[in-house]
Amino acid sequence: MALPVKTGEGEKPSAPDVGSLRINAKLNGSFDDIEKAVVPVERGEVAKTKEGVSFAYVETKDLNGIPISFFVINFKKDGMDVMYSIPPGTTPSKRKWEVTKKVLTIIMLLRDIYALDTKDIIGLVDMAIKDLDAYATQDYSKLYSEYDKLKNEVKRLNRRNAVLSDENERLVKENYELNSKNDELIVKIKKLETLSPETLRERIQDWLREHNGEINIGEFARIYSVPEALVEEQLNKLVKEGFISPIQ
């Protein structure tokens, strides 16, 4: 993804110093899912690439609108590659730590789309902090407090993911059981809808009384959803047992 660069007449744009990060992960969702998840992030731009999806985040610009601080995340099937600028006057270690925090925040939006290894995430944070230790001048208690918060957040999200996985398995099982019960009910309903021989004979007698002793076997079979042969069989039994008499 290209970032816009403005220059004055006669000025040649200078390439900023850059750093990079690599985060290994397995894509469980789709690149469309990634695009939908990061689109709401303010000051970010999303574009599809040959390998997946690219997300550019501009943090600051100069008076001419030229990006000074920015990073680009290339989302791929096997993980994420991050490239970030190192503005003048900023130590590489401090910049790496700043970007790591922001990237992790964005990655948390994708926790259901990527399978992330907790050890890799903690290792990334550890590496950023170790690099920062050599140059940092800020208060260390605040630094490690942020580090602990990040570790705890990763652990919390993984616990939540485990709970959701268990809940999903439970729902799948319940759905299977409900489908089985539904199938059983359908079978029972069909059995109830099928007339027994005794009931069928009663229906035939009712029909004869209502139609002046006449019966259209085809029409009767259609209305009561029974085979015509079965209707004829029960008619013959009624005649044989003396319940009805055929017209001579």
Q: How does pLDDT run across 193-224, given as a tens digit for each residue? A: 567 888 888 888 888 888 888 889 899 888 88
Closest C-alpha to 9, from 60, 88, 64, 68 = 64
Q: Which two tokens stand for residue 223?
A: 């209305």
For Cα atoms 226, 232, 234, give the angle at the middle one, nearest 5 degrees.
85
In a domain, 131, yes or no: yes
Residue 5, pLDDT > 70, answer: no
| 110 and 212 together in one domain | no
What is the CA 234 to chain-centroid distance, rounded?
A: 58
Rounded distance between C-alpha atoms, residue 31 and residue 27, angstroms: 9
pLDDT of residue 238: 86
Full 3-state SS string of the chain: CCCCCCCCCCCCCCCCEEEEEEEEEEECCCHHHHHHHHCCCCCEEEEECCCCEEEEEEEEECCCCCEEEEEEEEEECCEEEEEEEECCCCCHHHHHHHHHHHHHHHHHHHCCCEEECHHHHHHHHHHHHHHHHCCCCCCHHHHHHHHHHHHHHHHHHHHHHHHHHHHHHHHHHHHHHHHHHHHHHHHHHHHHHCCCHHHHHHHHHHHHHHCCCCCCHHHHHHHHCCCHHHHHHHHHHHHHCCCCCCCC
Q: Which two tokens stand for residue 175?
A: 């759905």
In a domain, 69, yes or no: yes
DSSP state of 51: S
Phi/psi for 39 (5° steps) reads: -55, -40
| 233 and 155 together in one domain | no
- pLDDT, tens only, 26-54: 999 999 999 999 888 888 899 999 999 99
- pLDDT, tens only, 95-141: 888 899 888 888 888 888 998 877 878 888 887 777 766 665 555 66
Residue after which a domain boundary falls, among 146, 167, 188:
167
Q: Is 59 helix (H, G, I), strand (E, B) or coil?
A: strand
Residue after which a domain boundary falls, among 123, 152, 167:
167
- pLDDT, tens only, 62-80: 888 888 899 999 999 999 9
DSSP state of 110: G
Q: Is 54 helix (H, G, I), strand (E, B) or coil?
A: strand
| 230 and 159 together in one domain | no
Indicate the length of the chain as a whole number: 248
In a domain, 96, yes or no: yes
Calculate what percentage of the chain has a pLDDT beyond 90.
Answer: 17
| 101 and 206 together in one domain | no
| 143 and 27 together in one domain | yes
| 44 and 154 together in one domain | yes
